Structure 1
Amino acid sequence: MIEQTKTGIEGLDGILNGGIVKNSTTLVSGNPGAGKSILCLQYIYNGVEKYDEKGIYLSFEEDESDLREAAESIGFENWQEHVDNGDIKVYDKQVLLRENDFTSSLDILLEELEDGDYDRLVLDSLAMFELFFENEKEKRTYLLKFTDILSDSGLTTLMTNEQGAVFPDTEIGLENYLTDGNIYLIQTPTDTGVNRYVWVAKMRKQNIETDIYPMEISHGGIDVHENASAFSMMSEEESPI
Structure 2
Amino acid sequence: MIELTKTGIDGLDEILNGGIVKDSTTLVSGNPGAGKSILGLQYIYNGVDMFDEKGIYLSFEENQEDLREAAESIGLDKWPEYVERGDILVYDKRELLGEHDFSSSLDMLLEDFKDSEYERLVLDSLAMFNLFFDDERERRTYLLKFSDILKENGLTTLMTNEQGAVFPKSEIGLENYLTDGNIYLLQTPTDSGVKRYVWVAKMRKQDIETDIFPMEISWGGITVHDNASEFSMMNHGDSPLE
Q: Which amino acid aligns with 2:220?
A: G
Matched, 1:109 2:101: no
Question: What are the residue-to-residue correspondences of 1:18-97 with 2, within 5 Å?
Answer: 18-97=18-97
In the TM superposition, residue 2 of structure 1 has moved relative to its aligned partner by 0.4
Counterpart in the other structure of 1:136: 136
TM-score (norm 2): 0.94
How many residue pairs match? The answer is 236
Question: What are the residue-to-residue correspondences of 1:104-183 with 2, within 5 Å?
Answer: 104-183=104-183
Structure 2: runs of 5+ lacking an equivalent:
238-242
1:155-186 Cα deviation digits (max 9, x unpaired): 00000000122333342111101111000000
**Percent identity (aligned):** 76
Q: Which amino acid aligns with 2:42?
A: Q
Q: Which amino acid aligns with 2:83?
A: V
- Contact kept, 8 Å, 2:59 with 2:93, in 1: the verdict is yes
Q: Cα RMSD (Å) of the superposition?
A: 1.4
Q: Which amino acid aligns with 1:177?
A: Y
TM-score (norm 1): 0.95
Counterpart in the other structure of 1:220: 220
The whole-number CA distance in structure 2 between the counterparts of 1:104 and 1:222 is: 35
Q: Which amino acid aligns with 2:128?
A: M
The whole-number CA distance in structure 1 between the counterparts of 2:236 and 2:66 is: 33
1:176-210 Cα deviation digits (max 9, x unpaired): 01111000000000011110000000011111110
- Say which SS state the counterpart of residue 12 (structure 2) adopts: helix
The whole-number CA distance in structure 1 between the counterparts of 2:209 and 2:136 is: 32
- Say which SS state the counterpart of residue 118 (structure 2) adopts: coil
In the TM superposition, residue 10 of structure 1 has moved relative to its aligned partner by 2.8
In the TM superposition, residue 151 of structure 1 has moved relative to its aligned partner by 0.5
- Contact kept, 8 Å, 1:186 with 1:197, in 2: the verdict is yes
Q: Which moved more, 1:13-22 or 1:167-176?
A: 167-176
Counterpart in the other structure of 1:210: 210
The whole-number CA distance in structure 2 between the counterparts of 1:240 and 1:45 is: 34
The whole-number CA distance in structure 2 between the counterparts of 1:27 and 1:240 is: 21
Structure 1: runs of 5+ lacking an equivalent:
none
In the TM superposition, residue 240 of structure 1 has moved relative to its aligned partner by 4.3
The whole-number CA distance in structure 1 between the counterparts of 2:37 and 2:236 is: 23
1:235/1:54 CA distance change after superposition, 3 Å: closer
Q: Which amino acid aligns with 1:79?
A: W
Q: Which amino acid aligns with 2:122?
A: V
- Contact kept, 8 Å, 1:183 with 1:198, in 2: the verdict is yes
- Say which SS state the counterpart of residue 32 (structure 2) adopts: coil
Counterpart in the other structure of 2:199: 199
The whole-number CA distance in structure 2 between the counterparts of 1:202 and 1:217 is: 23
